[in-house]
Amino acid sequence: MRKIIVATFVSLDGVMQAPGGPEEDPTGGFRFGGWVAPHFDEASGAAMDEIFSRPYDLLLGRKTYDIFAAHWPFAEGGPDAPIAEAFNRIDKYVASRSKRDLTWNNSHWLGEDTVGALKKLKAGDGPDLLVQGSSNLLQTLWKHRLVDEFNVLVFPVLLGKGKRLFGDEVAPAGLKLVKSQSYPTGVIVTKYVPDGEVKTGSFALAEPSEAELERRKNLS
Q: Of 53, 42, 51, 80, which is closest to residue 183 (Cα–Cα)?
A: 42
Provide the pLDDT for residue 169. Answer: 82
Residue range of the domain that includes 179? 4-217
Classified as helix, coil or strand, 11 is strand
Provide the pLDDT for residue 16. Answer: 96
Please list the helix, strand and coil fractions of the chain in percent, rounded to the nearest 5, in that order.
30, 20, 50
Q: How many CB atoms lie within 10 A of CB 17?
A: 24
Provide the pLDDT for residue 79. Answer: 84
Q: CB-based contacts of 170: which residues, under 8 Å, 6+ apart? A: 139, 142, 143
The domain total for the chain is: 1
| CATH of residue 40 | 3.40.430.10
Provide the pLDDT for residue 44. Answer: 75
What pTM was estimated for this model as a whole? 0.91
DSSP character at residue 28: G
How far CA 77 is from CA of 67, 74, 82, 85, 214, in Å, comes to 18, 8, 9, 9, 69
Provide the pLDDT for residue 101. Answer: 85
Provide the pLDDT for residue 42. Answer: 78
Q: How many angstroms separate the CA atoms of 83 and 48, rounded?
A: 10
Q: Judging by beta carbons within 10 Å of its beta carbon (0-12, 13-18, 19+), is residue 190 exposed, middle or buried?
A: middle
Provide the pLDDT for residue 77. Answer: 87
Provide the pLDDT for residue 113. Answer: 95
**Each residue's pLDDT tens digit in the chain (220 positions)?**
999 999 999 999 999 999 999 999 999 999 999 999 999 887 777 888 888 889 999 999 999 999 999 999 999 888 889 899 999 999 999 999 888 789 999 999 999 999 999 999 999 999 999 999 999 999 999 999 999 999 999 999 999 999 999 988 888 999 999 999 999 899 999 999 999 999 999 999 999 999 999 999 999 7
**Packing angle of the helix pair 114-123, 135-143 (nearest 10 deg):** 70
Q: How many angstroms separate the CA atoms of 62 and 67, rounded?
A: 9
175-182 and 188-194: which strand pairing?
antiparallel
Provide the pLDDT for residue 142. Answer: 94
Beta bridge partners of 113: none
Q: Of 29, 5, 16, 213, which is closest to residue 133 (Cα–Cα)?
A: 16
Q: Of 142, 130, 140, which is closest to residue 175 (Cα–Cα)?
A: 142
